[in-house]
C-alpha cells in the first residue's frame, strides 16, 4: 500500500444515486470532477480529468469550492487480482486558492483555504 495525492482543479460536483445490485438499496454519493493541467518536458500540454466519489455529505463543500485547487490523498493497492486507487478516507483533502504545484511569485505564502476530513 502506498499513498499518493491527486492534485488538480475542482471543475464540478454533483449528486449521483446508484442502486446496489445485491441489496437493491439506493446509495447516494458526491461525484467530483478534478482536472489536472501541466506541460511535459517537451513543452506539450498534458491534461487529465478524474472523477472521484465521496460521501453525499460533502456535496455542498465541493460545490462551494468549484474552481479552487484540491489535493486528495489516495491509497494505491497492488493486489494479485488487480491494482486499485481510491481516496484515503483516513486523511483529509485540502483546498487551495492557487495551484500548489506552481510557485506564486506574487504571494509565496499562499495558504490553503479550508481543510475537511474525507
Q: What is the CATH number of the domain that holds 23?
A: 2.40.50
Spatial separation of the C-alpha atoms in residues 72 and 65, rounded to whole Å: 14
pLDDT digits (tens, 9 = 90+) for 10-66: 999 999 999 988 898 999 999 999 999 888 889 898 899 999 999 999 999 999 999
Structural domain boundaries, residue 20: 2-98
pTM recorded for the entire structure: 0.76
Domains: count for the chain: 1
Q: Has residue 44 been placed in a domain?
A: yes
pLDDT tens figures, 57-100: 999 999 999 999 999 998 888 889 988 888 888 888 999 999 88
Which 8-state DSSP code applies to residue 116?
Answer: E
In terms of Cβ atoms closer than 10 Å to its own Cβ (0-12, 13-18, 19+), residue 114 is middle
Residue 117 lies in a domain: no
Does residue 50 lie within any of the structural domains?
yes
Amino acid at each position: 500500500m502506498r499513498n499518493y495525492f491527486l492534485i488538480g482543479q475542482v471543475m464540478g460536483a454533483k449528486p449521483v444515486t446508484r442502486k446496489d445490485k445485491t441489496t437493491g438499496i439506493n446509495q447516494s454519493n458526491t461525484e467530483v470532477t478534478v482536472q489536472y493541467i501541466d506541460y511535459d518536458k517537451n513543452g506539450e500540454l498534458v491534461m487529465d480529468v478524474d472523477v472521484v466519489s465521496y460521501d453525499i455529505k460533502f456535496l455542498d463543500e465541493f460545490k462551494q469550492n468549484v474552481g479552487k485547487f484540491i489535493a486528495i490523498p489516495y491509497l494505491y493497492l497492488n493486489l494479485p487480482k488487480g491494482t486499485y486507487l481510491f481516496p484515503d478516507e483516513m486523511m483529509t483533502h485540502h483546498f487551495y486558492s492557487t495551484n500548489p504545484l506552481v510557485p506564486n511569485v506574487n504571494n509565496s505564502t499562499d495558504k490553503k483555504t479550508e481543510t475537511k476530513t474525507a
